[in-house]
Structure 1
Amino acid sequence: MRLSNISFAIVSLFLCQFVVVPVILDTRWATTAYGEDWPQWMGPQRDNRWRESGLLKQFPEAGPPVVWRAPVAGGYSGPAVAGPHVFVTDYVTKDKIEDENFDRKTLTGIERVWCLDRKTGESVWMHSYPVKYDISYPAGPRCTPLVDETRVYTLGAEGHLHCFEKNTGKVLWQLHLPTHYNTKTPLWGYAAHPLIDGDRLICLAGGEGSHAVALNKFDGKEVWRALTSSQQGYVPPLTIHAAGTRQLILLHPDAMESVSPVDGSSYWRVPYKADYGSIIMTPVHVGDRIYAGGFNNRNLMVQLNEKSPAAETLWQDEKKTALSAVNVQPFVEDGVMYGFDQSGWMHGVDFKTGKRLWESTAPIAGGRPGNSATAFIIKQVPPDDKDRDQERFWMFNERGELLIAKLTPEGFQEIDRAAVIQPTNSAYGREVVWSAPAWSNGHIFLRNDQECICIDLRAK
């Protein structure tokens, strides 16, 4: 394993002046053969595919070069990259942060939204607002900023929804979801990444008849509200096209449901039961099937009707089957689903049947992994057919390591790995970093509870 040189600035949580730490002399920003933004959670098409070529095949002996480091405070939210900017959110508090599952912790502090210069990491603008936390795992916001044209949307851990002018940080509108919809923040905070659908911003709000809401993305006014669930849940909304109909898939602790993304009217409902209200992953849609898996083997495979917007359960709650995904979105490739189970093991799974093809602890620890061990998975997909030999998987694990790998029905094959950022948070008695990276123009953008960094992954 090759280790990059990791140095960390000691930054006061209430630092007024934003200081960028330069770490290399060469900061040229020539693009790769092809590059695109990463403007939201899971990328531009929300599919965890990095459409890029001209990248490293293995890491340099000293590790991949760090372009810049910028100080941030606590948070699980990943960065978003759009045009010349990087957006990231954090939480500043003087209170002691204790990460004990199922226990709400009360803290006082401020949430911040940062806009950084993509090339240098310097602050372009910052917006802050006071927030009292009363959630489990209170380190900071969960949701990746969402960039759409000239606007950027952020959703804080206690349900503070903002729309900013992207270039200036001017607040265009804001809404506090728990107050507006007369509900309480879920145990683990607001964590379902919002979705843009046309002129609508779709969010999980919670409350009676308002599990999901669509807001006019320009002014924040409500377009529709739909569904009621016993608990709000944490699953990001998903749009699909099936039976000639665009459908919005909403998975909550009581059911998987399909509604119209235009007006919220119901298409179908399949019962589901989540333990402790804990269902996090976005349902995976492949062909005529949708899969979801949650805490304690609460899995569900649904078959879609090909002629009309309807669905039925194929199998459910099968032990040692498929994945009980907790923190990581599974990835499906050629009929095989790759991902991490609640146990921390990585599995390759036959998508249709849920049969486990193989398991491995190598991506994270090599030994027995910890509960909910996490590694984020994306696939590099070169846009030009002549570069197909560059296809590979990239993974970022909770230990702060970046991996290059092959994933096949036969197993996990590591090509290389490098330590790139320190795990500064904690979970289940171990140090972790639980934040999904952004991948854009030959670079990876990462954050922990101390800094946001940019690393150059281009082949030289």
Structure 2
Amino acid sequence: MDAQTDHRARPAYVPTRRRGSVDRVVLCGIAAALMIGLAGSAGAQADWPGFGGPNHDGKSSDTGLLKQWPEGGPKLLWKAPGIGKGYSSVAVVDGIAYTTGDIAGRLFVSAIDSTGKGLWQAVADSAWEGDHPGARSTPTLDGGNLYIESGNGVVGCHDAKTGKRKWVQNLRDLGGSPHGWGYAESVLILGKLAIVTPGGEHCIVALDKATGKPVWSTSGWQAVPQYGGNYPFVRDGVPMIANGTSEGLACVNARDGSLLWYNTFSAHNTANCPTPIYSEGYVFWANGYGKGGLCLKLSAAGGKVSAQEAWRTRDMDCRHGGYVVHEGYVYGNNGGGWACLDLKTGRTMWKNGGVGKGSLCYADGMLYLFGEDGGRVGLATCSPQGMELRGTFSVQGNGPSWAHPVVIGGRLYLRYDDNLYCYDVKTD
């Protein structure tokens, strides 16, 4: 079955500049950001500026890491308590870690230095008080600013040195409303734009990252927002942004928000949490609650985008933990364990219990696994031939551990409950 193609979409908000000027100035920045960033050369290699890392794919550029952990796990460098309740992961830039957490009914963003010392905390919004309370969005750092989205749909830009807020935008004012478990996406920065998903009639919206004012929005795709983020990529010269919604997977043109294609896989699911991912001409998206995964093969000859359904699988039933693509294979959470799939064919290479249901990060040929129950952490081989655990340990906390692990600068960052842990995973 083919994904649907729709060219009816038009910008819904009047840009602050004439359309032609937006194409020349803002959109050149978008193309440059995508081309440079996805080539893996944007910024310092020891930075992890937001959810999924510099390329939004959950993969670290680190090398020289341990291939086997000692008994009890790698060395704990520090533990930073008091960051607040929640499931936010971390952004790490210049050795400073940023995360969000709920404290006494308010959503705070915290900055923690390379020794574990707290630098500052600032209020971003009131806390999410619906189901599963706790912080959701991981901060996104760009140009000395932090971009944060609360469970209530309040988007703010904060000074990364002080936490002082520079501007605020409410997704309700853009036609959205928090659904079910609240907003959980992390803000995507592309060039001069901050991309968010309020949902509703104008499902995906681009804001001017300097002011918070709308630049473009998607029309022709009305949906309730879900819990994954916007994923940027380029295919045959066309810059695209894909995200999952209540009506399925949608992809828009990053230049103006026009709808390029959609697929109704996983429409009206209990929840669609993972972010889609692109690799080698394929878009992969998997969800939990019995849905499994979808893979689409893309082409954009002459600027006309085609999204052909390549395969579906039940062997990546993924609620929160996500997946990574490495050398043509997808590695990710599958129900109570893990699975590996051939990206081009959908063939299941293996299934393994690992540390149980959880989230992951890739670095230096290994998978870093963070189990949802009991804070169990594992190091595993990343190979289509099978998964082998090379060490496990546990961190302390209460409730489910839904934050994704981060490996950058030779350090493993784990957020669990009210605590941020930092481990040394470099070789001697």
| TM-fit CA distance, 1:185 | 0.6
Tell me whether 1:238 sits opposite 2:252 in the alignment. Answer: no
State, as a whole percentage, how many aligned pairs show the same letter.
26
Question: Which of these residues, 60, 81, 86, is aligned with residue 70 of structure 2?
Answer: 60
| TM-fit CA distance, 1:89 | 0.6
Alpha-carbon spacing, 1:194–1:309, altered in 2? closer, same or farther (3 Å): farther
CA deviation string 1:87-119 (max 9, x = no partner): 1110124xxxxxxxxxxxxxxx111111122x2
Output aligned runs, 1:78-227, within 5 Å: 78-93=89-104, 109-117=105-113, 119-128=114-123, 131=126, 133-138=128-133, 140-178=134-172, 180-209=173-202, 211-227=203-219
TM-score after normalising by structure 1: 0.77
User: Which segments of 5 or more consecutive residues in structure 1 lack a partner in the other structure?
Assistant: 1-33, 94-108, 366-372, 381-390, 426-431
| TM-fit CA distance, 1:80 | 1.1
Provide the residue aligned with 2:242 in structure 1. 249
Q: Distance in 1 between matches of 2:125 and 2:367?
A: 40
SS at match of 1:408: coil
Runs of 4+ in 1 over 4 A off after TM superposition: none
Q: Distance in 2 between matches of 1:65 and 1:442?
A: 12
Question: Which of these residues, 70, 73, 77, is aligned with residue 80 of structure 2?
Answer: 70
Alpha-carbon spacing, 1:267–1:78, altered in 2? closer, same or farther (3 Å): same
SS at match of 2:382: strand
| TM-fit CA distance, 1:134 | 4.3
Q: Distance in 2 between matches of 1:148 and 1:47?
A: 17
Alpha-carbon spacing, 1:328–1:132, altered in 2? closer, same or farther (3 Å): closer
Q: What is the letter of the counterpart of residue 416 of structure 1?
A: G
Q: Distance in 2 between matches of 1:244 and 1:182?
A: 31
Q: Distance in 2 between matches of 1:82 and 1:148?
A: 9
Question: Which of these residues, 364, 367, 370, is aligned with residue 393 of structure 1?
Answer: 367
Alpha-carbon spacing, 1:129–1:305, altered in 2? closer, same or farther (3 Å): closer
Q: Distance in 1 between matches of 2:283 and 2:124?
A: 39
Alpha-carbon spacing, 1:458–1:288, altered in 2? closer, same or farther (3 Å): closer
SS at match of 2:269: helix
> Any conservation in 1 of the 2:201–2:223 contact (CA below 8 Å)?
no
Q: Distance in 1 between matches of 2:333 and 2:422?
A: 26
CA deviation string 1:391-416 (max 9, x = no partner): 33322222323322212222111122
Q: Distance in 2 between matches of 1:222 and 1:35?
A: 32
Provide the residue aligned with 2:340 in structure 1. 348
CA deviation string 1:24-45 (max 9, x = no partner): xxxxxxxxxx951111111122
Q: Distance in 2 between matches of 1:145 and 1:458?
A: 25
TM-score after normalising by structure 2: 0.83
| TM-fit CA distance, 1:434 | 1.4
Alpha-carbon spacing, 1:56–1:312, altered in 2? closer, same or farther (3 Å): closer
RMSD after superposition: 2.2
Alpha-carbon spacing, 1:302–1:53, altered in 2? closer, same or farther (3 Å): closer
SS at match of 2:63: coil
Provide the residue aligned with 1:24 in structure 2. none
Give the structure with higher Rg (CA): 1
| TM-fit CA distance, 1:132 | 5.4
User: Which segments of 5 or more consecutive residues in structure 2 lack a partner in the other structure?
Assistant: 1-43
CA deviation string 1:120-153 (max 9, x = no partner): 2222221125525343211x11111101121111
Question: Which of these residues, 395, 398, 409, is aligned with residue 424 of structure 1?
Answer: 398
Provide the residue aligned with 1:44 in structure 2. 54
